[in-house]
Structure 1
Amino acid sequence: MQRRHLLAAGMAGLALAPPSQAQDFARQGVPTDIRLLVGFAAGGATDLLARRLQPLFERRGHRLVVENIPGGGSAIALSRVAQARPDGRTLGFASGGLISLIASAEVPLRFDQFINLVRVSQDPAILVVGAKSPIQTLEQAIAAMRAGAGGFSAGAAGPEGTLGHLTLNAVAAAVGAEFIYVAYPGASRVANELMGGHLGLGLVKPADVFGQVRSGELRPIAVLGEARLAQLPNVPTAAERGINAFPDGRMLQMTYAVAPAGLPDPLRAGLVALFRDAVLSPEFQATAASEAYLADGIHGAELEAAVAEMFDGFRTAYARMKR
């Protein structure tokens, strides 16, 4: 039922404002002041995405206030979005975290409590180790995991059952290894633990750790995506080594803007146009290129299908874990 609702919602035809009206969002009822609730701590990749939108919104006549409400894998922030008035003044950033929470049925959140607006980013994941680690390659990491006989540590942002945990599980299962999963509240903690030698292997977004990679404090050993990254051309993909990191379906982390259910169609169209205008701007695209994430601004049926694909992947992964 959830997926049928999700796909049906995406089929609702909402025409975007034509390019000639792109700057006149006020006529579509878009509020001048907008609160964007981010369910993660300040300084992380998701928070930085929101803050990079601020000057772009301001240039278009809108004040974007970013409010960080970390906790519960973004459940606290998105619960507040779901309870807000559908007037366009309170929006949120959803991600694979929200999709996994709904798929697990561990929180009282449902897809029909939200209106999906625009995808802001889609991120590949990379496996990294600390600079002091003896591990230099993916093959050496696999050997260390096997030799550890379940005592090798690997971590990501988010508790068990979230995308980072499931992806590490898939990699370990593909190579016949085991590990101890260590959950962290954010990628900065993952990076710090790796640099301190307290964690064997980390799974992060490239944008979370490019500073430490460039400084030599972290060493990337594999990309869990469909192709090598232009920013890390010498780092192979797991697929090149015959490892399927997505056995339950293609699940790449993404961040997308949502509004409370009940948002009027004209206002939804105005908000979609505003977000797309900012995300597809040369400034935002330049940042996306430098930090290795895709900023395609998809919306409507295409975004609904992407969410549904991840939802199906999470359900399949959870069912496999229970066997």
Structure 2
Amino acid sequence: MKQNIFSRIARSLVGSLVALTVAAPVLAQNTFPSREIRLIVPWNAGGSNDISARALSSILGEKGIRVVVENVPGATGSIGMTRVARAEPDGYTIGMGTSSTLALIAQNLTPLRNSEFASIARVTTDPLLLLVPYNSPYKNLDEFIAFVKKNPGKVSIGTPGSNNLNHIFALMTGRIAGSEIIVAPYTGGSRVIADLAGGQINAAVLKPSESKAQIDGKLVRALGVFANEPLQAMPDVPTFKSKGYDVFPYGPLVQMAYLVAPAKTPQAVQDRLIAMFSEAIQSERFKKLSAEGSAVVDNLTGEALNKEVVGVTAALVEVGEKVFANQKK
């Protein structure tokens, strides 16, 4: 008799555990988030990634979801993204990954690996511009390239971070001129544009969203777009390709920003993060803001985004090896 009672109790406990196991993902998805989410931007405040993060925070805040943006700049994004990778995998700490950090991963310049993150949603893809101070004597791309050619090792080009796409395109500017340039790395685009407008550096490689206000205010001038197609928002700025300059000799490159969580975040929580942030990214308000900065918004999430991250990293392995190997020579 006692054995039957114990058997029934055991079966009941097993059944309860199974029910809880099945219900846990649903429960997590229904209750998350129950407190504020910390979104780490691994760059200084005021840059394009920071602007996008704060816009998403505002949009989600209107829906009762509190997202606090925290700027953790340094080491071309590695310091902030390391905090994300090491955070508790509960969905309450996420980060803004970029192609800049992927370039470091590709070149083994950081201990971080893509496997330490769960991809949530792509925020934007962004073209890059070559800019000079507005009062620079070089008013077009051909004049600036000629200036670089005549002054090997004397022309400074500022970039947010180093060993990233901005750095690569700065070096490519020297390459097409057949000359060496000085790359001046900063901890964020806002600092680059400030020094460029002040004439502290000769040129800079930045996103349109990081420089449009200064372009409109006639503090800096855009000379060229590192892309094959012109920007709709800046149709008068030529592409390097249209001027006969090949800045993609080793294959296409894409500058992008995307959201990630720690790798072991439960799938149900990942799904909730994807749903929340995708809705905000696809909102007309965010799309309009992005378009004003010539950034492109798509709907790449989850595993599809992860495949894109792996693909971009692979491309950066090849390009980084060739470009930076040539620099060392």
Give TM-score, length-normalised by structure 1.
0.87
- For residues 270-310 of structure 1, the C-alpha deviation after alignment (integer angstroms, 9 at most, x for no partner) is 11111110000011111111111012131134322322232
Task: Find 1:57's aligned residue among 50, 60, 65.
Answer: 60
1:129 to 132, 137, 149: 132
Paired position in structure 1 for 2:5:
none
Corresponding residue to 2:268 among 262, 266, 271 = 266
Q: Secondary structure at 2:46's aligned position in 1?
A: coil
Query: Retained in 1: the 8 A contact 2:103–2:320?
Result: no
Amino acid at match of 1:270: R
Deviations along 1:91-114, one digit per CA (max 9) or x if unpaired, are 011101221121121222111111
Q: Name the structure 2 match of 1:142.
A: 145
1:181 corresponds in structure 2 to 183
1:109 alignment partner in structure 2: 112
Please, which of 152, 157, 179 is the counterpart of residue 155 of structure 2? Answer: 152
Task: Tell me how far apart the structure 2 counterparts of residues 155 and 52 of structure 1 sit (CA, whole Å).
Answer: 26
Task: Answer whether contact 1:171 1:244 (CA < 8 A) is retained.
Answer: no
Q: CA deviation at 1:188?
A: 2.2
| Aligned residue number for residue 292 of structure 1 | 294
User: Given that residues 28 and 267 in structure 1 are in contact (C-alpha distance below 8 angstroms), is that contact kept between their aligned partners in structure 2?
Assistant: no
- Pick closer, same or farther for the CA change 1:42–1:90 going to 2, 3 Å: same
Distance 1:157 1:247, change over 3 A: same
What fraction of aligned residue pairs are identical, expressed as a percent? Answer: 33
Counterpart-to-counterpart distance in 2, 1:96 and 1:59: 30
* Counterpart among 293, 314, 317 of residue 316 in structure 2: 314
Selected match of 2:46 from 43, 48, 60: 43
Q: CA deviation at 1:31?
A: 4.2
Change (3 A) 1:285 1:318: closer
- Report if the CA contact (8 A) 1:127-1:202 is conserved: yes
Paired residue for 1:251? Answer: 253
Q: Which amino acid aligns with 2:76?
A: G
How many pairs were matched up? Answer: 299
Q: Choose the corresponding residue for 1:118, options 107, 111, 121.
A: 121
Stretch deviating more after TM superposition (96-105 or 254-263) = 96-105
CA distance in 2, matches of 1:26, 1:54: 20
Q: Distance in 1 between matches of 2:168 and 2:253?
A: 10
- Pair 1:34 & 2:37 matched: yes
2:219 paired residue number: 217
Q: For 1:225-240, what aligned pairs fall within 5 Å after superposition?
A: 225-240=227-242
Compute the displacement of 1:26 (Å). 5.7
Q: Which residue of 2 aligns with 1:208?
A: 210
TM-score, normalised relative to structure 2: 0.86
The Cα of 1:222 is off from its aligned counterpart by: 0.5
User: What secondary structure does 2:265 align onto?
Assistant: coil
Structure 1 residue 118: deviation in Å?
0.3
Q: Distance in 1 between matches of 2:193 and 2:267?
A: 42
SS in 2 for 1:120: strand
Q: Secondary structure at the match of 1:146?
A: helix
Counterpart contact for 1:248–1:314, Cα < 8 Å:
no
CA distance in 1, matches of 2:213, 2:321: 37
3-state SS, counterpart of residue 205 of structure 2 = strand
- Please report the RMSD computed on the Cα atoms of aligned residues, expressed in angstroms: 1.8
The answer to whether the aligner puts 1:196 opposite 2:177 as a matched pair is: no
Contiguous gaps of at least 5 residues in structure 2: 1-27
Amino acid in structure 1 at the alignment position of 2:321: A
CA contact (8 A) 1:28 1:266 kept: no
Gapped regions of structure 1 (runs ≥ 5): 1-24
Corresponding position of 1:7: none
SS in 2 for 1:311: helix
- Superposed CA deviations along residues 129-151 of structure 1, whole A, max 9, x for unmatched, are 11110011110011000010222
Q: 1:154 to 1:169 in 2, by over 3 A?
A: same
Range 206-215 or range 299-308, more displaced:
299-308
